[in-house]
Structure 1
Amino acid sequence: MELHNLVQLTTGVTLLTCALAVLGVHTYARGRAQRADLVERLSHTGQTTATGRQRRFGDLDRRLRRTRAGKKLELKLAATGLDVTPGEFFVYMMAGVAGLWLVGQAALAPFFGPIAGLLGIWAALQFLNWQRQKRIERFIGQLPEMARILANATQAGLALRTAIGMAAEELEAPAGEELAKVTNQLAVGHSMEDALGELADRLPSRELVVLVTTLVLSNRAGGQVVGALRNLTETLEERKETRREIRTQLSQVNMTSYAVPVLGIGSLFLMNGVKDGALDRMTGSPIGQACVIIAFGLYAVGFVLIRRMSRIDV
């Protein structure tokens, strides 16, 4: 009798254990699914990434994001569309600076090591600006089509939130990706004004500011947005053609702005190649070092002035 009770108890405990194991596996699978869904949403709001790759330098990245410069860098990286965290970009930039420092010191003279490192920092920041500007230009090129889709959707009776989600599905990157972020921000409780405002901060341009202002005011006042979007579409098409013509006309001037500092740096290699050790002797005295610094400063001023003179706001 006691043996029979022990068998029943053992069987009951085994069944209970199996039931708890099944329940635990089910709970674990559901938790993973919820976490994946949350990561997907947060990736579109810019708070995390859904690429699945292992992020490097996590501690440095968290510390960097707490600083004002880190927040600006994070916003700029989000505008470029690059799959790089602020911590990773900082480490890669420092590695490039160290490499340029050694190359400049070995190929020219020890005095040029720090200058080459500073040029590396400038080049990295310029690369980010170039990537961001290129993405902004692509986004501006898609604005007329985006305004047309929003106008058609709202004219069909759809809500503005639904129209934005439809435009995110139909448009290619970068407009589709940016509107998908706006859609996911609205899904997690952000207001229309905040979500569109963050979009304008990520991709600053006059055209986008006008579109965002039109959508926000129409959504807040409950006005008719179709007519405004129709007129805005025509205006954006005209501005798109004007910007294209200006960019074509100024392409030679922009190339000249980059050619000026390149010629200056090339002349240093030419001098050192003609007479080995000439740069060592030139930078061996305070006067020579001051002359080199002044020359680099003048090249930088020339670059900035040419860029400023060729900038035309439309």
Structure 2
Amino acid sequence: MDLDTLITLTTGVALLTCALAVAGVHAYARGRAQRAELVERLTSAGQVHGGGRRRRFPTLDRRLRRTGIGRRLELKLAATGLDVTPGEFSVYLLAAVAGLWLVGQVTLAPFFGPIAGLLGVWAAWQFLTWQRQKRIERFINQLPELARILANATHAGLALRTAIGMAAEELEAPAGEELAKVANQLAVGHSMDDALGELAERLPSRELVVLVTTLVLSNRAGGQVVGALRNLTETLEERKETRREVRTQLSQVNMTAYAVPVLGVGSLFLMNGVKDGALERMTGSPVGQGAVVIAFALYAVGFVLIRRMSRIDV
């Protein structure tokens, strides 16, 4: 091969490589633009939600969803059933923390400003946990009726997918909403195991795990799902009554757990009201600041211990 042929071949390969590179960059840029357009269209459509409410802070919400913390917060909010996006919740939380920081700094002492802000973050997280647990309790109370509907539908010859869609239409929230999500996932090609597994992750409970396991095994092995669901319905009814009795017996203990930190915070306002400026003088030294931090830590430990001792898994 002479030198001219080698130069021509090298030039042709270089030009072909450049052309492929330009085509690849063009395809990548077009794909990115189409994806951004799709996300923008879906976000714009999702800004109006439930009763025509327009979503606030859409830009912040999109950026927050791309982070790990934002995705975890989104799952937490989805489990609570609240009509709030991660962006909205973050803005509201920052505003509440700033307000509590200012109130604690002005009414008590400058040292209590950051503590009040941290208490605001803890209170917001506890509120989400409480809302999630309340939604789980409501879902558990609907499980006997859900199992009964699925048993009757499968006994009538309907497929399990169709039975889940029927139950989503007949049951109220939260069971109806959660089953509608499962039905939508099944409609777009998700497997029964994945769709029901995500349901169990969103609303974790022993009763739901038993129901999901029964449905998955029956669907996978082709067993007698009707008999299993009817037996499960009776068991869920009994567990429902037992949980109600246990919750009634422990209501006073649970109130005590929340009363302990409330009394601690109230004592600070009482101390400052009896002698104006007492807290500011107390937190003016490292010893006083350390005593306050230790006191709040002890209140937190007491709250956790009371909650742990009053937790009875049924």
TM tier relative to shorter chain: 0.7 to 0.9
Q: How much does 1:59 deviate?
A: 2.2
Residue in structure 2 matched with residue 57 of structure 1 by the alignment: 57
- Is 1:204 aligned to residue 204 of structure 2? yes
Residue in structure 2 matched with residue 232 of structure 1 by the alignment: 232
Amino acid at match of 1:116: A
Structure 2: gaps spanning 5 or more residues? 1-37
- CA deviations 1:58-104 (Å, max 9, x no partner) are 22212221222211111110011111111110111110000000000
Q: How much does 1:178 deviate?
A: 0.8
Q: How much does 1:192 deviate?
A: 1.1
- CA deviations 1:173-210 (Å, max 9, x no partner) are 11111111111111122111111111111111111011
Give the whole-Å Cα distance in 2 for the aligned partners of 1:91 and 1:169.
35
Give the whole-Å Cα distance in 1 for the aligned partners of 2:181 and 2:93.
28
Give the whole-Å Cα distance in 1 for the aligned partners of 2:54 and 2:258.
37
Residue in structure 2 matched with residue 255 of structure 1 by the alignment: 255
Question: SS where residue 114 of structure 1 aligns?
Answer: helix
Question: SS where residue 158 of structure 1 aligns?
Answer: coil
Pick which of 274-283 and 179-188 moved more.
Answer: 179-188
Residues 82 and 67 of structure 1: CA distance in aligned 2, closer, same or farther (over 3 Å) = same
Residues 48 and 160 of structure 1: CA distance in aligned 2, closer, same or farther (over 3 Å) = farther
Give the whole-Å Cα distance in 2 for the aligned partners of 1:138 and 1:118.
30
User: Which runs of structure 2 are paired with 1:24-103 in the superposition (5 Å)?
Assistant: 50-51=49-50, 52-103=52-103
- CA deviations 1:94-141 (Å, max 9, x no partner) are 100000000001110000000000000000000000000000000000
Give the whole-Å Cα distance in 1 for the aligned partners of 2:296 and 2:49.
43
Residues 89 and 232 of structure 1: CA distance in aligned 2, closer, same or farther (over 3 Å) = same
Q: How much does 1:261 deviate?
A: 0.5
Q: How much does 1:48 deviate?
A: 8.4
- Is 1:313 aligned to residue 310 of structure 2? no
Residue in structure 1 matched with residue 34 of structure 2 by the alignment: none
Q: How much does 1:50 deviate?
A: 4.1
Give the whole-Å Cα distance in 2 for the aligned partners of 1:48 and 1:172.
24
User: Which runs of structure 2 are paired with 1:1-314 in the superposition (5 Å)?
Assistant: 50-51=49-50, 52-314=52-314
Structure 1: gaps spanning 5 or more residues? 1-34
CA RMSD of aligned residues (A): 1.7
Question: SS where residue 53 of structure 2 aligns?
Answer: coil
Give the whole-Å Cα distance in 2 for the aligned partners of 1:201 and 1:58.
27
Residues 48 and 157 of structure 1: CA distance in aligned 2, closer, same or farther (over 3 Å) = farther
Question: SS where residue 183 of structure 1 aligns?
Answer: helix
Normalising by structure 2, report the TM-score.
Answer: 0.84
Give the whole-Å Cα distance in 2 for the aligned partners of 1:311 and 1:297.
21
Amino acid at match of 1:277: G
Give the whole-Å Cα distance in 1 for the aligned partners of 2:90 and 2:177.
25
Give the whole-Å Cα distance in 2 for the aligned partners of 1:190 and 1:48.
26
Give the whole-Å Cα distance in 2 for the aligned partners of 1:232 and 1:68.
37
Give the whole-Å Cα distance in 2 for the aligned partners of 1:186 and 1:107.
55
Give the whole-Å Cα distance in 2 for the aligned partners of 1:49 and 1:213.
36
Amino acid at match of 1:300: A
Pick which of 51-60 and 153-162 moved more.
Answer: 51-60
Q: How much does 1:53 deviate?
A: 2.9
Give the whole-Å Cα distance in 2 for the aligned partners of 1:48 and 1:58.
8
Give the whole-Å Cα distance in 1 for the aligned partners of 2:309 and 2:64.
35
- CA deviations 1:200-231 (Å, max 9, x no partner) are 11111111011011111111111110011011
